[in-house]
Amino acid sequence: MTTPQRYDVVILGTGPAGLQAAIHAARKKVSVIVLGKENKSSLFHAHIENFCCLFNVAGEEMLANGRKQAASFGAHFSEDDVLAINAREDGLALETESGATLITPALIIATGTHRNRLGVKGEKELIGRGVSYCVDCDGHFYKGEAVAVVGSESAAVDGALTLLEIGAKEVHLVCERLDVSQALKAKLETSQVKVHLGAKAGAIQGANQVEGLALSDGSVIPVGGVFIEQGAKGLLQLATNLGIMLDDEMRYIQTDKRQATNMPGIYAAGDVCGPPWQMAKAVGEGCVAGINAADYAKKRKQ
């Protein structure tokens, strides 16, 4: 087990909200780390024409500049996705996909929105009847059953391993490729998860309840549950254990004007707090969250 690393402020998300938060927090002379994959930001493939003072700039270029700017003030970066957050006596403990543990008094969640529907036949019809988007929320309903997880990144691999731990009889991982850290890949390879590498989900079968997952090569895996876990772990999965207050539809984090959530030391900014999904809003909220999280960390030190 590696020694936990301690930071005054940990920021989840390398999009505009996370980067702006990092710039403002780091300038307050606290130690800051920003986690997440730059090319997974919504901004990465966008072209921005409506952000004040910058006209017609590629999102990728903006992200690279923001990262350089935050690093110049002392912020650290890691590509690691976060798989779990737990509250402990000495602060919040974040477990990452490479097996590292980070401890912090102040956390900023800037993980953006998830548009994680697969769009295959049977998916919409069977939501809540075997189709789920959250292993951490629904996994325990599938003890003793055969289940499948669809996805190629950290949320899917961690989800498949979690289902085994919970006691699913058989766990299939359907992934076109494997886009995770070496540490997580090694865990998967030594587990009992049946990996269908290069496979693509074609349709979810079942009349009133999921009965099988058809792959695009025509084969069918008989399962009672299909978990769609695309990308990194989203808001719902990360917030489940912590008791962070969400809106009525459980889609966005609720914050006050200081971007503080209902949990002391936890702030949120950007698309994860709801629409409008715009860079200008993300940057503004990131600034406020960064300042307040840094102040909170400083007070905790005194």
Interface residues with ligand FAD (CB under 6 A)? 12-18, 35-37, 40-43, 45-46, 48-51, 81-82, 110-112, 232-233, 270-272, 277-280, 282
The single-letter code of the amino acid at 121 is K
Please name every residue paired with 205 in a beta bridge, in sequence order, or none if there are none.
212
**Least distance CB 35 / ligand FAD (angstroms):** 5
| Listed residue (100, 73, 106, 116) closest to 237, CA to CA | 116
Angstrom distance (rounded) from CA 21 to CA 108: 8
Q: Least separation, in Å, of the C-beta of 45 and ligand FAD? A: 5
**Beta carbon of residue 100, minimum distance to ligand FAD (angstroms, whole number):** 12
- Minimum CB distance to ligand FAD smaller for 82 or for 131: 82
Return the number of the residue (47 or 129) whose C-beta is nearest ligand FAD: 47
DSSP code at position 217: T
3-state class (DSSP) for residue 87: strand
- The amino acid occupying position 230 is Q
Sheet holding 266-268, edge to edge: 76-78, 32-35, 9-12, 106-109, 266-268
Sign, CA torsion 186/189/192/193: positive
Shortest distance in whole angstroms from residue 122 CB to ligand FAD: 27
Q: How far is the CB of 274 from ligand FAD (least distance, A)?
A: 10
Of residues 58 and 214, the one with the C-beta less far from ligand FAD: 58
